[in-house]
Chains A and B, each alone.
Chain A
Amino acid sequence: AQRVTQPEKLLSVFKGAPVELKCNYSYSGSPELFWYVQYSRQRLQLLLRHISRESIKGFTADLNKGETSFHLKKPFAQEEDSAMYYCALSGYSTLTFGKGTMLLVSP
């Protein structure tokens, strides 16, 4: 069975502080992992994919197979980063989501 755990419901930081949103997964095969973001009153949208090794809006995420983690990081948080963040694991035909972490960035 595949499972995604996001241990923090809420992460509150000040503008300019570093951010790390934690994600751990359980999957027997080779995982495909994603971060999705949902800004207030907007639809769920793809933030980044682990296979792309890209940086989107200053966010990066590294897959650590040894620790089965895919934490999302940003060195300097901005107020516009405030949103709900979901880590997701892609199986054969399913996308399994964690429960999400609300990131609040205060001025």
Chain B
Amino acid sequence: GAGVSQSPSNKVTEKGKDVELRCDPISGHTALYWYRQRLGQGLEFLIYFQGNSAPDKSGLPSDRFSAERTGESVSTLTIQRTQQEDSAVYLCASSQRGTGLSPLHFGNGTRLTVT
């Protein structure tokens, strides 16, 4: 079956512009996560959805970042007024259950470059 799909795969934007990143999780997966990986660093947790509610937004780095999810389907991560430090690969993952016992299935990521 289809895996986690992310779009676009690459995005170059000018500093100060807004961007929207999209994630289509695996069908039937109730949990959805956003991570980012900046150059030379590990995966940084951003936000977690269980269904369409977000019980944990603790990883969002600033109020310029927001995310929403429609039901148990598509999620969008929005970054407003992008800054150069937002440049990273943004990874989406889904899992059947929102517990550490359920491995995450990752998409290929969106590489965001802010110039």
Partners in one complex: no
Which A residues have a C-beta under 8 Å from some C-beta of B?
none
